[in-house]
Amino acid sequence: MVAHIVHWKLAGRTLAPLELNEVMHTLELGIVTAGFILMAVLVLATFVFGRFFCSWGCHILALEDASTWLLEKVGIRPKQVRSRALLLVPIGTMLYMFVWPQISRLIEGRSLPRLHIEGDGSAWSSFLTEDYARNLPGPGIAAVTLFVCGFVIVYALGSRTFCRYVCPYGAIFAIADRFAPGQIMKTGDCDACSLCTAACSSDIAVHKELRAYGTVVDSACLKDLDCVAVCPNGAIGYGFTRPSIFRKRKRSSALAKRYDYSWREELGLAVVFLPTLLVLRGLYDLLPFLLSLALAAIIAFLAVHAARLVSRKGVKFGKTQLKLSGRITRAGWVFTSVVVVVGLLLGHSALVRYHLFAGERAFAGLVGSASVLPAEIESTIGHLESAIGLAPVELPEVDRMLVDLHMMSAHPGGAEAALERILERDATDADARSRLVRILHGEGNATGADQQIEQMIAAAASSPNPAHALSSAYELRGVLLVERGDADGAFAAFERALEEHPQNAGASRSIGELYAGAGRFPEAIARFEESLKSDAESPMTHYNLAVVLGMVGEDERSIEHYVQAARLSPKDIDIRNNLGILYLRLGRFALAEEQLLEALALEPRFASAHFNLGRLRLAQHRRGEAEEHLRRAAALDGRFEAGMKELLFGSPPGLGGR
């Protein structure tokens, strides 16, 4: 590890961090990473030599052993906790991480990914990197993880219990170890002194297994050779023999595992462990998965011992007496206080997770929904704001959801607080700043809106793309000036936006709209065409250009841009209606009918489409249908009543403009 970091410091680039969890990315996405190759080599080596990596190469086990050594130095000898339920955690985690995604792939009928190596420019998955810490947690979370997975879990559950009760990679290595010919074996006369068992930090009855099988068959054996070193007769060694998977296990009370909990208590461990894991996993986007597993195991252990404190007359924590002859000791009250504090913190976290889960789930259902009830928006806002109020850390993604929800509601001004929090974290966030500007402008606070634009301009220099950010700020100023009726000021702002960023399609389109509003159609057409050079997929620009081209009599070009606008925005009823009018004027009745009927299919109460379809039916000499649509238009919108009377009872209908 030291050599890896030193090489990065000296060369500026090195092999990506060797993270075993990258196996998931390879299995799911086909990206061959350095971590995947390491894991593959280790598993293959374990199939031959046994579980050497865990004791000789894993930094977490080194941390656990160091923690055990330091605790013993200060007089604390952690007691080994033996649990059936916790033994299932690494296996379940391994299945969840590596097996279940492949089962899901088969169920969904997805094909296997193509194996490939990402280039150096890839953010997290390249083989080589200049950013050594790219996927690693920050110093704070790293320190907490090492402390919990080292000292805390060793103090609570005993030596190497992270490996035994948490680590999913250990579960994989344990399976491979069963097939390995490389094993700890008896090589001489053994007098069953049990010094080897006492020296084993993996809680294996070494002398019993050597006597029964001539070798250690327990796959928890990490081949650290402590038992070999301590044997006074030199009767233990490492060698190759028949793999343990092919050895018939003997049934005897001497070899039977001893556990510390009744079946009811094991069930209690599971009942506490699972919901605790759901609460802690990824809490506040901070807690790593393996840290959450370790904390859940520790909290489940505390819960069972708290239950014992209530139900039993005598309770010990390791060698410490918590309750004696029915009376709680001073240490017992300290333990109780710790359990209460942990319970309160867990309950608080659970409440935050509940509000986050309910709010995020409701938000996902509201986004893109055709009809949203105000009560649904308010309920979702309530959950997310409760999460913000309860959480001890900032929740940036929740703030963004709150902004969207308030903008969807009848009171968009409610988004101000969330937007201000976003801007406190990142003053260069142009999207948040522009939303705040629009809210202030909509509330009639022109001064506040202008001040925010000035801050947007000032922050542009610090943004990743200063020219683009500055151009966007001036474009937004132009939009506000248009809405205030200051066409000259808006024109100047849009021109300044184009000076900063000539490819600003929105500014070009806005200038075209100003020209069109002033009746300067040739200049408007030129600006719209310039805008399309930068953004050829803008339905609004195609629509505006089609309208102006229709006004100057360039019908064929107008149709071309209407068709492009309809392709890009297929549910826009105004585009369909205008295209129908244009086809009607040109006498292309079949095409006009197609567009008008499509508009009415999208919105049956669209009065203008009914009116124009009535005109079309008159031109087709289908008076009954024409009268039906014209009367429908007048009923939906009184402005069409005079037109209906003129067409039905006045002069013959013309086929001119709308």
User: Which two structure tokens, joined as six digits, stand for 647?
Assistant: 């067409």
In angstroms, rounded to a whole number, what is the distance separating the alpha carbons of residues 323 and 341?
19
Give the strand pairing for 182-186 and 128-129: unpaired
* Residue-level length of the chain: 658
Return the SS3 of 237: strand
Return the SS3 of 341: helix
Largest CA distance in the chain: 121
Q: Which residue has the tokens 């959801």?
A: 401
To 5 degrees, how large is the angle CA 105–CA 111–CA 115? 105
CB–CB of 449/437 below 8 Å?
yes
Residue 331, H or E segment? helix 330-366
Mind listing the pLDDT tens digit for each residue in 103-113? 998 898 888 88
Q: Residue ranges of the alpha helices (H) in 367-395? A: 374-390
Sign of the CA dihedral running 246, 228, 163, 169: negative
Mind listing the pLDDT tens digit for each residue in 38-55? 999 999 999 999 999 999
Phi, psi of 371 (to 5 degrees): -135, 125
Kindly write down the DSSP assignment for every residue of 19-67, as one continuous string. Answer: -GGGHHHHHHH-B--HHHHHHHHHHHHHHHH-SHHHHHT-HHHHHHHHH
Mind listing the pLDDT tens digit for each residue in 414-461? 999 999 999 999 888 888 999 999 999 988 999 999 999 999 999 888
Mean residue pLDDT of the chain comes to 91
Q: Which of 205, 207, 200 lies closest to 226 in space, CA to CA?
A: 200
Mean pLDDT of all residues in 475-488: 93
To 5 degrees, how large is the angle CA 537–CA 561–CA 529? 70
Q: What is the pTM of this model?
A: 0.77
Which residues make Cβ contacts (< 8 Å) with residue 253, sequence separation at least 6? none
Return the SS3 of 364: helix
pLDDT grade for 654, boundaries at 50, 70 and 90: very low
Return the SS3 of 556: helix
CB–CB of 269/301 below 8 Å?
yes
CB–CB of 459/428 below 8 Å?
yes
Exposure pattern of 509-542 as b/e (b: 16+ CB <10 Å)? Answer: bbbbbbbbeeeebeebbebbebbbebeeebbbbb
- Give the torsion through C-alpha atoms of 276, 278, 282, 288, to 10 deg: 60
CB–CB of 579/559 below 8 Å?
yes
Which residues make Cβ contacts (< 8 Å) with residue 166, sequence separation at least 6? 89, 90, 93, 149, 153, 290, 293, 294, 297
CB–CB of 158/78 below 8 Å?
yes
Kindly write down the DSSP assignment for every residue of 587-635, as one continuous string. Answer: T-HHHHHHHHHHHHHH-TT-HHHHHHHHHHHHHTT-HHHHHHHHHHHHH
Share above pLDDT 70 across residues of the chain, in percent, rounded to a whole number: 97
In angstroms, rounded to a whole number, what is the distance separating the alpha carbons of residues 281 and 277?
6
- 95, 259, 440 from 86: Cα distances, Å: 15, 11, 56
Mind listing the pLDDT tens digit for each residue in 500-541? 999 999 999 999 999 999 999 999 999 999 999 999 999 999
User: Helices 505-517 and 539-551: crossing angle, nearest 10°?
Assistant: 30
Mind listing the pLDDT tens digit for each residue in 203-251? 899 999 999 999 999 999 999 999 999 999 999 999 999 999 998 887 7
In angstroms, rounded to a whole number, what is the distance separating the alpha carbons of residues 575 and 539?
9
- Residue 581: its pLDDT value, please? 94
Phi, psi of 116 (to 5 degrees): -160, 160
CB–CB of 489/508 below 8 Å?
no
- Residue 625: its pLDDT value, please? 93
User: Which two structure tokens, joined as six digits, stand for 274?
Assistant: 């699972």
Mind listing the pLDDT tens digit for each residue in 174-192? 999 999 999 999 999 888 8
Mind listing the pLDDT tens digit for each residue in 630-642? 999 999 999 999 9
In angstroms, rounded to a whole number, what is the distance separating the alpha carbons of residues 22 and 176?
19
Which domains, and CATH codes, for the chain? 2-168 (no CATH), 182-241 (3.30.70.20), 589-658 (1.25.40)
CB–CB of 549/525 below 8 Å?
yes
- Residue 251: its pLDDT value, please? 76
Q: Which of 17, 26, 23 lies closest to 136 in space, CA to CA?
A: 17
Residue 481, H or E segment? helix 466-483
Mind listing the pLDDT tens digit for each residue in 351-398? 999 999 999 999 998 887 767 888 999 999 999 999 999 999 999 999
Phi, psi of 238 (to 5 degrees): -105, 135
User: Which residue(s) pair with 182 in the sheet?
Assistant: 240
Mean pLDDT of all residues in 77-81: 90
Return the SS3 of 397: helix
Q: Which of 50, 54, 56 lies closest to 20 in space, CA to CA?
A: 54
- When computed from its CA atoms, the radius of gyration of the chain, rounded to whole angstroms, is 36
Return the SS3 of 259: coil
User: Which two structure tokens, joined as six digits, stand for 410?
Assistant: 């009848």
- 157, 370, 476, 490, 511 from 486: Cα distances, Å: 73, 36, 14, 6, 13
CB–CB of 56/224 below 8 Å?
yes
Return the SS3 of 327: strand
Give the strand pairing for 236-240 and 182-186: antiparallel
Mind listing the pLDDT tens digit for each residue in 301-330? 999 999 999 999 999 988 889 999 999 999
In angstroms, rounded to a whole number, what is the distance separating the alpha carbons of residues 266 and 513?
72
